[in-house]
Structure 1
Amino acid sequence: MFISTFLLGVLGGCMYPRESRPGNQVSYRESVNRLQLAVDQFQKDQGILPILNADESTPRFEKFRIDLDKLNKTGYIDEIPATAFEQGGSAYFLILDEETKPVVKVMELTTVQKVNDIQRAVDKYKSSHQGKLPVGQELYPGIYSIDLMAINSESLAWTSFYSGQTSDYLLDPRGQVYVDYALDIMQAVEKSGVTPKADTDLRSLLLEHSYFVPVKSLPYHWQNKQPVAVSQ
């Protein structure tokens, strides 16, 4: 996959998702900061983190959801943020680095819902086509774009919450659906001015520049001067 200088210029704005940029109605900055203080104090007082139980198979960027109801009922927050799903918002609040220095992040649910919808459509196509997958172009070794027309899902195009740019859905050899964060990662690399190490999972760069986690993603490694998705 080739990422041109022109595309990098298009993506050269703020790395924060549109929802958290100044001037937009929905801002996660205050919510994240308030919950970080509450989580830190809860852990200091109780010796544990206020998280909901998660299965071992749950992906990292979906796993440790904050128990907002517990924080609210025990007085660590005076109300659940309006941005939270629990209050009709479009995000879950998560904890990353739970064993070292717990940090509050945001899981954006619009992407989750779209990927789940595409996954159902892919599964249906696979079932009715003798196991064949609705693959498009091979974007990375063994990883393809999805033929949205074949699964009647053209209306579910995905827009990155980091850059505001439309990007591809990805399909691995097992038929598992993800979204492609390569352009967002490339932007982060350009901003950092540092050449990544070959064996580093480049999704960490997105976490450094945003409150949001790259949900429904594959790992990315630096190969031939660009981020390349790696099948798990």
Structure 2
Amino acid sequence: MSSGDGNGGLWAMNTRTILAAGRRWRTAAMMGLLAVITLSLSGCLYPEDEKQSAPPKEAVRNVQAAIDQYFDEQGLLPIVTSSQDVPVYEKYKIDYKKLQAKGYLSYIPSAAFENGGNYYFIIIDEETDPTVKLMDIATFQKLIDVQSWVKQYRDSRSALPKKDEMYPGFYTIDYESMGKKAPDIRSMFSGVGLHAILDDKGNIYVDYGIDLMQYIQKNGESAASEVADLRELLVRGSDFVPVKSPAYKLVGGEPVAVLP
């Protein structure tokens, strides 16, 4: 694989040396971020108006009950049709018209995008255990903005604004070269600040490695080794899904993003 940025000398190194260097850099970055999590959760790091608001748990429970009843009686899920290439954690948005038309839901939750709210209510595990989760629209929109900046840069310079290799095939973003400021992306799982990364095709993702590392440190590697995609660990204990994220696997006790 070619880096595409003229760093031929780097790619002449043997594979073991490259991965080791990348791992040390990534680990240092993650540990630095983990050091501030306690402060952020205790309210010492961010102003009050920037803290994550409480998730609309009652709305999630109400919609879940409506979905369960609809599925039991209709044998189908009330979802908006989407194409096959839509990522798994964005794919099955709830169709409120179907729920309302048959009397399973009397109103659209105020937290839902369709009623002016901040979240898409989506369904995951649609074939085995249909479960309602929330996709944060603010994070989604910030990634759309960054994707637009990268496309403009690539179209004008025939190159990508990439810097350090964070994972194999994933890079941090050179916002300065685009004349932009990095967006403030907050994790819906921990409240810690996250950053966007891009691949060699110019696709943009949110890096949830810090959240996954926190989970592994708290629960041990054995819990993480039980799943093929580490993102499942975040989703299990939360009402949220990881927006615009790559899949992750466990490598040497660390979460590593995987190219699609």
Q: Give 1:231 deviation, angstroms.
A: 1.4
* 1:120-139 equivalent positions in 2, closer than 5 A: 120-129=148-157, 131-139=158-166
* 1:38-53 equivalent positions in 2, closer than 5 A: 38-53=66-81
Q: What secondary structure sits across from 2:249 in the alignment? A: strand
Runs of 4+ in 1 over 6 A off after TM superposition: none
Q: Deviations over 1:18-73 (max 9, x none)?
A: xxxxx976532111111111000001111111111111111111101111122123
Q: Give 1:149 deviation, angstroms.
A: 1.7
Unaligned segments of structure 2, at least 5 residues: 1-25, 43-50
Residue 206 of structure 1 corresponds to which residue in structure 2?
234
C-alpha distance in 1 between matches for 2:227 and 2:233: 14
Unaligned segments of structure 1, at least 5 residues: 15-22
User: Would you say the 8 A contact 1:188–1:209 is kept in 2?
Assistant: no
Amino acid at match of 1:169: A
Question: How many residues were matched structurally?
Answer: 223
Q: Deviations over 1:58-94 (max 9, x none)?
A: 1111101111122123211121100000110011111
Amino acid at match of 1:149: E
Q: What secondary structure sits across from 1:222 in the alignment? A: strand
Residue 101 of structure 2 corresponds to which residue in structure 1?
73
Q: Give 1:199 deviation, angstroms.
A: 7.2
Scaled by the length of structure 1, what TM-score is found?
Answer: 0.89
Residue 221 of structure 1 corresponds to which residue in structure 2?
249
Q: Give 1:148 deviation, angstroms.
A: 1.4
Task: State whether structure 2 residue 177 is matched by structure 1 residue 177.
Answer: no
Residue 174 of structure 2 corresponds to which residue in structure 1?
147
C-alpha distance in 2 between matches for 1:97 and 1:190: 26
Residue 11 of structure 1 corresponds to which residue in structure 2?
37
- Structure with larger Rg: 2
Q: Deviations over 1:97-142 (max 9, x none)?
A: 111111111111111101111001000000100x210002111112
Amino acid at match of 1:157: D
Task: State whether structure 2 residue 27 is matched by structure 1 residue 2.
Answer: yes
Amino acid at match of 1:224: G
C-alpha distance in 1 between matches for 2:64 and 2:167: 37
Q: Give 1:192 deviation, angstroms.
A: 2.3
Residue 17 of structure 2 corresponds to which residue in structure 1?
none
Q: Give 1:161 deviation, angstroms.
A: 2.1
Structure with more of its chain in helix, by fraction: 2
Cα gap change, 1:72/1:199 in structure 2, threshold over 3 Å: closer, same or farther? closer
- Select 1:160's aligned residue among 164, 170, 187: 187
User: Would you say the 8 A contact 1:118–1:153 is kept in 2?
Assistant: no
Residue 116 of structure 1 corresponds to which residue in structure 2?
144
C-alpha distance in 2 between matches for 1:201 and 1:123: 28
C-alpha distance in 2 between matches for 1:59 and 1:33: 24
C-alpha distance in 1 between matches for 2:218 and 2:170: 27
Q: Give 1:96 deviation, angstroms.
A: 0.7
Q: Give 1:155 deviation, angstroms.
A: 5.2
Percent identity (aligned):
40
